[in-house]
Structure 1
Amino acid sequence: MTFSVTLIDLVGYAALLLWGTHMVRSAVERALGPRLKAVLARALRNRWQGFAAGLAITALLQSSTATAFMVSGFAAAGLVGLVPALAAMLGANVGTTLIVQVLSFDVAAAAPALILAGFIMFRSARGSVAHDLGRAVIGLGLILLALHQLVDLMRPLEDAPSLRLLLGAVATVPVLDVILAAALTWAVHSSVAVVLIVMSLASQGVVPPNAAFALILGANLGSALAPALEATGGSEPAARRLPVGNLINRVLGVALALAFIEPIGRFMVTLQGDPGRAAADFHTLFNLVTAALFLPALGPFSKLLRRLYPDRADAADPTRPLYLSPGAHDTPIVAVGAAAREALRLADTVDHMLAGARDALLHGDRRRMAETQQMDDILDRLNSEIKTYLTALDPADLTTADRARVDEILTFATNMEQAGDVVNRNLLLHASKRLNRGLSFSPEGRTELQALLDRLGDNVRLAASLFMTADPRAARLLAGEKAAFRASESLATRTHFDHLRSGLVHLAEASTLHLDLIRDLKLINAHIVAAAAYPVLERSGELLVSRLSEDAAAPPA
């Protein structure tokens, strides 16, 4: 095999490994979704559970680099604490030693079965948690396959004269061994593959034991390089704490081991006569000792990392609360007013989402569709922050009016967030369906949809004003909008059935989509009315318990 073909194969399998890692990570995030914080809070409650979780995750994902990327993302998002996250990385480093032991057997034979099982889950459970977990299982199979192929591809290079010459030159300089193995591990994003190669080289006598141990140290160092380098290129300092902290742990551990490489080498050779097995045992021993040294010191170490990389509030971040000052908790009237002001940002976001949905539905603007989908994160974050902020107030410090206002703010925020969910999950889905299937609205249907979307925008702005003024006249005006949307739904339903009765099959699918959209717009309007009009009408005694007439509602005599 020529050098160019071998190089292409190496890069290709490394890319497959990275893609498998990406599939697992993204699938886990999609499957867990909003529950991710609760799941990780249970799994990474403290440093010891974090250590165990990191070990288990790495054993499952077959890559400490994959674990580093995942835990770094969770820590940067504030889903886990820094101390258990650092402990998870120490556990991940130990987890790689288990993988080396397991991969000494032919576990790659399980890769096709994993890919097949993942494919079946992915195809048979579309839109469910099992669908996303199917992607994760496929990714696991790809990781196993890529690791096996990388090791097999590089094994014949052991007998290459140029490789033996290079290794002989650096074998007497442990620092060069560390640098060489670290660079190779960073390039292929797998310390497991490099450790297995070093074990094979040691077993063949290509490298002496001390050189093999130094190469093992380099592989451990290289596994921490990729996450640290990626985080360093980012703009958020807090996101750098975990990967840089893990790299510091690796550097200090490698430096300590290098200082005692000679006595350690003699001890390992005496303990294990087989050079290959001695390399594997050294890999395990190094990570266990490093974990034992750093686990007790993670508290002070995390404080140092926070000082090096402090939180930086990004004024341009639309998901960050602007008015929820913690200091206002001592003055409830100020805190309640701040929460009300923050809640108005939800109305503004829903207004922008409706404008984006209109462009996506009527003009097929995919860019606006993507932008509108991202706005749903703003609603989720702000709604959660407002709830947390208000529920932290001491009820004993609140008057009856204060408690009523808190309830109104929570009702407003919840309904606005739910209205945004309907836009994101329903309207944008219909817009995508229309584009993918090439459906078009009739001129009358297009005009009606545009008018209703514009009307919804007006209602959102009216609800925001009503939320601040509590004017009963505006509340009655907003509540009356429900009748207009009910009338539109009734008209769309009759038109749809007329198309079906007339046998106009080519119009049936478009009218079905039109009817679904009208119903979704009606649902959004219902949330808007419930957000602002109903609390005011209920307080003034103008809100009926039921729409049934008194005669129909009365029990029979």
Structure 2
Amino acid sequence: MKHLLNLLAAIALLVWGTQLVRTGVLRVFGANLRSLLARSMGNRFSAALSGIGVTALVQSSTATALMTSSFVGQGLISLPAALAVMRGADVGTALMAVLFSTDLSWLSPLFIFVGVVMYMARQDTTTGRVGRVFIGLGLILLALRLVVETSEPLLASPVVRTLLGSVSSDLVAELLVGAALAVISYSSLAIVLLIAAMAASHVVPTEVALGLVLGANLGSGLLAILTTLKASVEVRQVTWGNMVFKVLGVALVAPLIGLWLRHAHPRLGDIATSVVLFHLAYNVVISLGFIGMTQWVASLMARLMPPADPASKNPLRPRHLDPSALATPSLAISCAAREALHQADLVEAMLVGMYTVIRTGDLKLSAELRQIDDSVDELYSAIKYYLTKISRSELDEREGRRWTDIIGFTINMEQIGDIIERVLIDIEDKKIKRGFRFSEAGMQEITELHGRLVDNLRLAMSVFLNGDVRDARRLLEEKVRFRDLERSYAAAHLARLSDRTVPSIETSSLHIDLLSELKRINSLLCSMAYPILEPTGTLAPSRLQDAAPARPQS
């Protein structure tokens, strides 16, 4: 029992090491990796090379698959190009397995020591994140050595021999076990390294190890499919297309296992080397041999999984909250920001439509605008829930501030939508249904404030998108101008009441409330400037005067 627990602990350490390397690399190079993928789509061969490079860094073909499928879902790259990237990604993870299978145990203490020093010294900086990568590499090498050491005593167990005997000579069982291990561990790389170490220790026969390796490759494709089950059709086309290549590769390579054992294996000598090179050979075969089929597989996926008709998509529903992007937090932040701007577009439509209702008394339009507010609320909930699923620990300082800014922006948009809905209800009850109208001067004042409000909304969206300090200052200056105008127009309305202007008397309560609500909307819009200006030291700490009288001491 003790030996089994030690082996399970070594396996867990191996999986955790690959996780540390993957998350550490994504924190340091996440944005650059996405740019590399986006720039390398000129042809299928450059796309495959970028897949090799990115996967070699992040230690996970699954992470590359999720990143690439997100680009397809956003319309940034084509499906054939994404499938070419995945051909390279599989070769990249196989190359890393070959590297880690060599005797690098002497590097383990060095990597762990250097990594811990770098991480503890400056945790929230690039230095600390690079240290996290070194820790992960050290743990991978340490875990591989522990797997070899702890698996040897298990050979004497009759239970283990019986279990392995039930798997031997059954390729289907080997494929299922290998796939299940890859899905459970969330890392086919870790499982391939584990299988190689166990084969070297004679825990599993070499023939069984090769079948398990093929199963682990299928498991990595299945893992990407499971991760994107709720994603858009365009995203799922990538993961399913990648799985087609893997299945074709297994069908082609599995019958050749005997040839590998008879001809390649004796020349390689070391069993672990034979296993990882077989893994590399499998991925090279399906990458080089099938890369010319990317267009054909893309066409097949388009027929089997046709994308939804753009005309049938509800423009009021969430568009950009891609679940597959959650595996890359920096990419998920970008998706949430795009959805926040979509929410702001709906609020702008409500704000523009509100003026039309005020001017024309269109009850049908008013009802439609109030229904849009339900969509604004729904988007707010969807964005908030999506952001809570992003791992805050994997965000750097800038991305953490962006996370907070998105939450604040969506809250303000949701509140503005609620205010517009209340205004529409008041206009229906206090003006349209009673047949009242605003005075000509009053309508001019509302038109002026509304025009400024629409301009400020668009400026606030620009500030949120670009974070420009100059635009943020302009937005905050507009808050003062708008407040002064609102006070001036409220005083002018009271003057018209003194003159007994009938329209002003009939709509007095509505007019004053409307001016107040417009000012509230403007205040919410102008608050977008605070997160941008606060780090610059532009904002005053308080508007209170410091010349407060001192309290007499008793």
TM-score (norm. length: structure 2): 0.56
Shift of 1:288: 0.9
Shift of 1:238: 1.8
Shift of 1:237: 1.9
Match of 1:137 in 2: 130
Match of 1:263 in 2: 259
Q: Deviations over 1:516-535 (max 9, x none)?
A: xxxxxxxxxxxxxxxxxxxx
The answer to whether structure 1 residue 151 and structure 2 residue 152 are counterparts is no
Shift of 1:498: 3.0
Sort the Cα spacing of 1:23 and 1:110 in 2 relative to 1 into closer, same or farther, 3 A: closer
Whole-angstrom CA distance in 1 between matches of 2:243 and 2:262: 28
Corresponding letter in the other structure for 2:144: V
Q: Deviations over 1:399-456 (max 9, x none)?
A: xxxxxxxxxxx99996352254599999x9xxxxxxxxxxxxxxxxxxxxxx999544
Match of 1:170 in 2: 167
Sort the Cα spacing of 1:309 and 1:425 in 2 relative to 1 into closer, same or farther, 3 A: farther
Shift of 1:495: 6.8
The answer to whether structure 1 residue 215 and structure 2 residue 212 are counterparts is yes
Shift of 1:278: 1.9
Shift of 1:38: 5.3
Shift of 1:170: 1.9
Corresponding letter in the other structure for 1:309: M
Sort the Cα spacing of 1:51 and 1:158 in 2 relative to 1 into closer, same or farther, 3 A: farther
Match of 2:459 in 1: 415
Match of 2:426 in 1: none
Q: Is the 8 A contact 2:3 2:153 kept in 1?
A: no
Sort the Cα spacing of 1:281 and 1:7 in 2 relative to 1 into closer, same or farther, 3 A: closer
Match of 1:362 in 2: none
Q: Which has the higher contact order (CA 8 A, sep 6+)?
A: 2
Corresponding letter in the other structure for 1:418: S
Shift of 1:185: 1.8
Match of 1:113 in 2: 114
Match of 1:317 in 2: 317
Whole-angstrom CA distance in 1 between matches of 2:4 and 2:206: 28
Shift of 1:12: 7.2
Give runs of aligned pairs for residues 418-429 of structure 1, distance below 5 A: 418-421=462-465
Give runs of aligned pairs for residues 290-329 of structure 1, distance below 5 A: 290-312=286-308, 313=310, 314-315=313-314, 316-318=316-318
Q: Give 3-state SS (helix, strand or coil) of 2:290's partner.
A: helix
Whole-angstrom CA distance in 2 between matches of 1:377 and 1:419: 14
Q: Give 3-state SS (helix, strand or coil) of 1:260's partner.
A: helix
Match of 1:488 in 2: none
Whole-angstrom CA distance in 1 between matches of 2:296 and 2:58: 30
Match of 1:335 in 2: none
Whole-angstrom CA distance in 1 between matches of 2:76 and 2:412: 19
Match of 1:237 in 2: 233
Whole-angstrom CA distance in 2 between matches of 1:295 and 1:369: 42
Aligned-residue sequence identity (percent) comes to 26
Match of 1:437 in 2: none
Q: Deviations over 1:373-404 (max 9, x none)?
A: 458999xxxxxxxxxxxxxxxxxxxxxxxxxx
Sort the Cα spacing of 1:74 and 1:264 in 2 relative to 1 into closer, same or farther, 3 A: same
Sort the Cα spacing of 1:193 and 1:425 in 2 relative to 1 into closer, same or farther, 3 A: farther
Sort the Cα spacing of 1:415 and 1:496 in 2 relative to 1 into closer, same or farther, 3 A: closer
Q: Is the 8 A contact 1:150 1:193 kept in 2?
A: no
Q: Is the 8 A contact 1:238 1:311 kept in 2?
A: yes
Q: Give 3-state SS (helix, strand or coil) of 1:151's partner.
A: helix
The correspondence for 1:93, drawn from 90, 98, 120, is 90
Q: Deviations over 1:243-283 (max 9, x none)?
A: 22212211111121112322233222243233332222212
Shift of 1:298: 0.4
Q: How many residues align?
A: 378
Q: Is the 8 A contact 1:54 1:67 kept in 2?
A: yes
Whole-angstrom CA distance in 2 between matches of 1:424 and 1:309: 42
Shift of 1:459: 5.5
Match of 2:246 in 1: 250
Match of 2:492 in 1: none
The correspondence for 2:37, drawn from 11, 33, 40, is 40
Match of 1:434 in 2: none
Q: Deviations over 1:203-256 (max 9, x none)?
A: 334443322222221222222221111212x15222211122212211111121
Shift of 1:9: 7.0
The correspondence for 2:186, drawn from 165, 185, 189, is 189
Corresponding letter in the other structure for 2:317: D
Q: Is the 8 A contact 2:344 2:461 kept in 1?
A: no
The answer to whether structure 1 residue 80 and structure 2 residue 82 are counterparts is no
Match of 2:534 in 1: none
TM-score (norm. length: structure 1): 0.56
Whole-angstrom CA distance in 1 between matches of 2:121 and 2:64: 25
Q: Deviations over 1:280-304 (max 9, x none)?
A: 2212211111111111110121122
Q: Is the 8 A contact 2:112 2:139 kept in 1?
A: no
Whole-angstrom CA distance in 2 between matches of 1:452 and 1:495: 26
The Cα RMSD (Å) is 4.7
Match of 2:46 in 1: 49
Corresponding letter in the other structure for 1:193: A
Q: Is the 8 A contact 1:220 1:250 kept in 2?
A: yes
The correspondence for 2:66, drawn from 69, 73, 86, is 69
